[in-house]
Amino acid sequence: MMDSHFRGTLWTTLILLTLPHLTCNMPCPGGCLCKSNEVLCVGDTITDIPKQMSDHTYTLRLDRTNMNIINEQSLANKKLLLRFSLTRSRLHTIHPRAFHVAPQLKSVKLSSNDLSAFPARVFSPLTTLEELYLDRNQLENIAPDMFEGLVGLLKLDLSYNRVSSLASHVFYGLTNLTFLNLGRNSIKKLPPTIFHDLTNLGMLMIYNNELEVLEAGIFDELVNLVVLKIHQNQITSLPPQVFWSLRNLENLTLSSNKLQTIPEKSFYNMPKLIQLTIYKNPLLSLPDQLMGHMPDMTVFYLYYTNLTTVPGNVFANMSGLQKLNFNLNIKLRELPSDLFCCLPNLEQLSLESNDLHYLHPQLFSRLTTLGKLFLNDNKLQSLSDKIFQGLEQVFSVNLTNNSLKNLPGDIFLSNTVLSILTLSGNPWNCVCSISGIAKWIRHNEHVVLDRDDVICHSPTYQQLRTVGSLRDEELFCDGTTFRTFFSPPMPMKPFHTSEQTSAVASTTAMPTPRPATIQLATQQVTIQTNTPTAKPPALHTTIPPTTLQSPTTTLPNQEFLLITETPLSPTFHDTLVVERGPEFVHHNRLKGSVYVWFLPSDAALTGLLMFCHILLVAAGLFLILAAMFCMYRLNKTMDRLKVEFEHPPG
Ligand SMILES: *[C@@H]1O[C@H](CO)[C@@H](O)[C@H](O)[C@H]1NC(C)=O
Ligand SMILES: *[C@@H]1O[C@H](CO)[C@@H](O)[C@H](O)[C@H]1NC(C)=O
Ligand SMILES: *[C@@H]1O[C@H](CO)[C@@H](O)[C@H](O)[C@H]1NC(C)=O
Ligand SMILES: *[C@@H]1O[C@H](CO)[C@@H](O)[C@H](O)[C@H]1NC(C)=O
Ligand SMILES: *[C@@H]1O[C@H](CO)[C@@H](O)[C@H](O)[C@H]1NC(C)=O
Ligand SMILES: *[C@@H]1O[C@H](CO)[C@@H](O)[C@H](O)[C@H]1NC(C)=O
């Protein structure tokens, strides 16, 4: 009966479609817009579904209305209506038989209302319904039989509600469903068989919920799933092989969960994957075998984790990767040397804001297509001269904000297309050894974008100079600056500031156990110890001048001293006193050594310079006085001439 009637209306529909002009003179309800077979009613004045409208309305859309209720007869006499939407209208009640009068509906959209509950099986008459949008309401409980009978349903949207749990058979029978959105609810747990009938499902959204676990086997029947979004939950662990049936999956989002580890081989059997997000998880480690072949993955992000390192092959199966963002992992200290072995298409690599202290010289050697490399905001202290070898296409390198004191002069030798380089925010140590890179910067000024901020951090007498402005002769490469160092086997304590050191130096009168004096060339350096007198004082003399890398022969008149600070070690002194010492210039610590620099001070030269200075000042003063005197004389003469001119004698 029903069927033949329905078929009849379909025929009418077809005939009317081919003869559209016949429908033109139908009335359009007040407050609405009518356009061919569509009626759109917007505004507060709408309080019920319009009764008077064309019989041939297929689409009825009501938006921002004043409607709170759909009555038993609201949808009556609309035999051809296929799409009905009532949105943003504070709708809170639906009559239990509201849809009995319109079983032909294909799409029902009730988004953004105040619905908190539905009468039992209210949608069940809609056996041909294809789309049901119930998103952005106040739904808390979904009855287990709520979608019963909706065998033709293709799309179901329940997002932005307050659902906290779902019955295991709530989606049973929805075998044609292709899209299911459960996102932005408060779901804590999902039954393991809840999706088992959804064999045609292509998209499943469960993001922004409160899921803590995923049950084993929950996705097992979803062989057609293309998109699975489960980010922004509280998931702490994944069952092994939970994604293994998803052989058609292209997008999988797991970011912003609580995962500390991921089971071995979790991402195997997903050869079509193009997006995988696992960032923003407190990951502590990753298993040795994790990623199966995923050649279509072009972009991968792995940031905001607690990883300290990763297995060397973690990216090895992502052969199509073009962009890899492996950044903001604040505990990531080291990278395996073969980590980027197998990324023949990589164009952009971001390692910024990690905790990297060291990079293996071969780390990037196979990234022949890399264009952009971000290494900024790490703790890199030095780089091998080989590190960028092989990066033939790199045009942008960011080394900003590291702990670099120096770089090998030929480090960018093979990067012929390099055009953007930033080096600021590093404590450049402007001594002789920096001359190579200083020269390179000078010759490649246009490449170093922040060259004016690439500033010497030490030694003191070079501070605030830009590295690129340093000439070899200013770097004392002829040996006038030198360093001495010890490598104490102990961890270092914070070093005295130079003020402290000079304070000690000024109190040489304090009880000192036999200061030892080491005669070095013509100057004298006194080194003494603070250690309790119980310690054998013989220590003072155990530092033979030969342990100092002191070019004493080339520095006949230089003063220098050495500093050690190993309070626990009997081998070293912890206080250093300078008598008649040179001007203290700077110290620095690097890899357990303490470096001390002194400005070479030559008394004779200083005297000469001072003499010249005084001479110049005196000459200047004399010239000024002479000029003033001349002016005075000239003025006098002029006055006299003027007087003579105005009152000629006689
Ligand atoms: C489910 O979809 C198939 C084709 O994809 C169709 O043949 C079948 O009729 C649909 N089932 C229902 C109940 O609509
Ligand atoms: C799937 O991932 C691709 C690549 O990241 C992205 O462009 C696309 O929008 C994603 N699709 C969905 C539905 O999220
Ligand atoms: C790459 O994937 C294949 C199969 O998907 C797997 O056998 C292999 O172990 C994976 N390689 C790595 C390095 O994980
Ligand atoms: C991850 O690191 C953050 C920041 O250091 C810390 O607060 C958090 O407890 C760590 N998580 C785990 C699981 O270790
Ligand atoms: C390098 O990184 C810094 C952040 O440390 C950023 O401010 C700067 O813009 C970056 N430069 C380039 C060229 O990417
Ligand atoms: C450099 O890093 C520190 C933290 O390590 C940060 O506070 C600072 O803003 C960074 N500077 C730049 C220029 O990015």
One DSSP character per residue, 404-441 reads -S---TTTTTT-TT--EEE--SS-EE-SGGGHHHHHHH
Rounded mean pLDDT of 41-59?
88
**Which two three-digit tokens encode residue 436?**
């190579």
Instruction: Give the CA radius of gyration of the chain.
Output: 41
171: pLDDT confidence band, cut at 50, 70 and 90? very high
Q: Please state, in angstroms and rounded to a whole number, the distance separating the CA atoms of residues 132 and 144.
A: 16
User: What residue's CA is closest to ligand 2, atom 10?
Assistant: 251
User: What residue's CA is closest to ligand 1, atom 1?
Assistant: 176
Q: Which-ligand-closest: CA of 378?
A: 6
Between the alpha carbon of residue 420 and those of residues 106, 445, 557, the distances in Å are: 57, 10, 45
Give the chain's largest Cα–Cα span.
149
Contact of 387 with 364, CB cutoff 8 Å = yes
pLDDT value, residue 644: 80
pLDDT value, residue 486: 39
Rounded mean pLDDT of 551-566?
38
pLDDT value, residue 135: 98
Q: What are phi and psi of 324, to 5 degrees?
A: -125, 115
Non-local (6+) Cβ contacts of 215 within 8 A are 190, 191, 192, 239
- Closest ligand 1 atom to residue 176 Cα is 1
Contact of 259 with 234, CB cutoff 8 Å = no
Give the whole-number percent of the chain exceeding pLDDT 90: 63
Concatenated DSSP letters of 12-79: HHHHHHH-GGGGTT----TTEEEETTEEEEESTT--S--SS--TT--EEEEES----EE-SSTTTT-T
649: pLDDT confidence band, cut at 50, 70 and 90? low
For 153-164, what is each residue's pLDDT tens digit?
999 999 999 999
Confirm or reject: Cβ of 322 under 6 Å from ligand 2: no
pLDDT value, residue 612: 80
pLDDT value, residue 116: 96
Average pLDDT taken over every residue of the chain = 82
pLDDT value, residue 638: 87
Residue 454 has pLDDT above 60, yes or no: yes
Ligand 1 pocket at CB < 6 A:
151-152, 176
Spacing, Cα 424 to ligand 6 middle (Å) = 11
For 510-548, what is each residue's pLDDT tens digit?
333 343 333 333 333 333 434 333 333 333 333 343 334
Per DSSP, what are the bridge partners of residue 474?
none
Concatenated DSSP letters of 541-570: G---GGGS---TTT-TT---------TT-T
pLDDT value, residue 648: 62
> How do strand 593-598 and strand 584-590 relate by DSSP bridges?
antiparallel
Spacing, Cα 304 to ligand 4 middle (Å) = 10
Confirm or reject: Cβ of 274 under 6 Å from ligand 2: yes
Of 580, 568, 570, 575, the closest CA to residue 594 belongs to 575
Q: How many CA atoms within 13 Å lie on the side-chain side of 105? A: 25
Residue with tokens 């450049």: 428
Q: How far is CA 164 from the centre of its chain?
A: 33
Residue 301 has pLDDT above 60, yes or no: yes
Contact of 31 with 63, CB cutoff 8 Å = no
- Closest ligand 4 atom to residue 260 Cα is 13
Confirm or reject: Cβ of 406 under 6 Å from ligand 2: no
Confirm or reject: Cβ of 285 under 6 Å from ligand 4: no
Q: Please state, in angstroms and rounded to a whole number, the distance separating the CA atoms of residues 467 and 474.
A: 11
User: What residue's CA is closest to ligand 1, atom 12?
Assistant: 152
User: What residue's CA is closest to ligand 2, atom 3?
Assistant: 275
Q: Please state, in angstroms and rounded to a whole number, the distance separating the CA atoms of residues 595 and 565.
A: 12
Rounded mean pLDDT of 538-567?
38
pLDDT value, residue 589: 52
pLDDT value, residue 537: 38
Mutate to test the pocket of ligand 4, among 286, 304, 306, 332 (most ligand atoms within 8 A of CB): 306
Spacing, Cα 311 to ligand 6 middle (Å) = 28
Per DSSP, what are the bridge partners of residue 298?
none
Q: Please state, in angstroms and rounded to a whole number, the distance separating the CA atoms of residues 46 and 531.
A: 92
Residue 493 has pLDDT above 70, yes or no: no
Q: Is 93 helix (H, G, I), strand (E, B) or coil?
A: strand
Between the alpha carbon of residue 522 and those of residues 485, 553, 558, the distances in Å are: 21, 11, 8
Residues in the chain: 650
Contact of 563 with 543, CB cutoff 8 Å = no
Confirm or reject: Cβ of 268 under 6 Å from ligand 3: yes
Rounded mean pLDDT of 122-149?
96
For 406-420, what is each residue's pLDDT tens digit?
999 999 999 999 999
- Closest ligand 1 atom to residue 200 Cα is 5
Confirm or reject: Cβ of 107 under 6 Å from ligand 5: no
- Closest ligand 5 atom to residue 449 Cα is 13
Q: Is 85 helix (H, G, I), strand (E, B) or coil?
A: strand
pLDDT value, residue 234: 98
Spacing, Cα 347 to ligand 6 middle (Å) = 25
Non-local (6+) Cβ contacts of 542 within 8 A are 571
Residue with tokens 């296929």: 82
Spacing, Cα 400 to ligand 5 middle (Å) = 6
User: What residue's CA is closest to ligand 4, atom 3?
Assistant: 306
Q: Is 203 helix (H, G, I), strand (E, B) or coil?
A: strand
**Cβ of 472: how many Cβ atoms within 10 Å?**
13
604: pLDDT confidence band, cut at 50, 70 and 90? low
**Which two three-digit tokens encode residue 557?**
């008149």
pLDDT value, residue 596: 52
pLDDT value, residue 51: 84
Q: Please state, in angstroms and rounded to a whole number, the distance separating the CA atoms of residues 579 and 561.
A: 10
Q: Please state, in angstroms and rounded to a whole number, the distance separating the CA atoms of residues 395 and 373.
A: 8
pLDDT value, residue 115: 97
Residue 578 has pLDDT above 90, yes or no: no
User: What residue's CA is closest to ligand 4, atom 13?
Assistant: 282
Spacing, Cα 155 to ligand 1 middle (Å) = 13
Rounded mean pLDDT of 128-141?
97
The burial of 293, by beta-carbon neighbours within 10 Å (0-12 exposed, 13-18 middle, 19 or more buried), is given as middle
165: pLDDT confidence band, cut at 50, 70 and 90? very high
Q: Please state, in angstroms and rounded to a whole number, the distance separating the CA atoms of residues 302 and 281.
A: 9
pLDDT value, residue 90: 92
Q: Please state, in angstroms and rounded to a whole number, the distance separating the CA atoms of residues 425 and 650.
A: 85
Of 26, 67, 59, 56, the closest CA to residue 40 belongs to 59
For 207-216, what is each residue's pLDDT tens digit?
999 999 999 9
**Cβ of 496: how many Cβ atoms within 10 Å?**
18
Give the whole-number percent of the chain exceeding pLDDT 70: 76
**Which two three-digit tokens encode residue 416?**
């012929």
Spacing, Cα 203 to ligand 2 middle (Å) = 11
Spacing, Cα 279 to ligand 4 middle (Å) = 14
Non-local (6+) Cβ contacts of 568 within 8 A are 490
For 336-347, what is each residue's pLDDT tens digit?
999 999 999 999
- Closest ligand 6 atom to residue 376 Cα is 14
- Closest ligand 2 atom to residue 226 Cα is 13
349: pLDDT confidence band, cut at 50, 70 and 90? very high
Residue 506 has pLDDT above 80, yes or no: no
User: What residue's CA is closest to ligand 1, atom 9?
Assistant: 152
Rounded mean pLDDT of 76-98?
94
Spacing, Cα 251 to ligand 2 middle (Å) = 6
The burial of 27, by beta-carbon neighbours within 10 Å (0-12 exposed, 13-18 middle, 19 or more buried), is given as exposed
pLDDT value, residue 514: 40
pLDDT value, residue 148: 94
What CATH homologous superfamily does 23-115 map to? Ribonuclease Inhibitor (3.80.10.10)
What are the start and end residues of each CATH 3.80.10.10 domain in the chain? 23-115
Residue 440 has pLDDT above 70, yes or no: yes
Non-local (6+) Cβ contacts of 611 within 8 A are none
149: pLDDT confidence band, cut at 50, 70 and 90? very high
Confirm or reject: Cβ of 377 under 6 Å from ligand 5: yes
> How do strand 516-520 and strand 523-527 relate by DSSP bridges?
antiparallel
Residue 137 has pLDDT above 90, yes or no: yes
Residue 462: DSSP 8-state: G
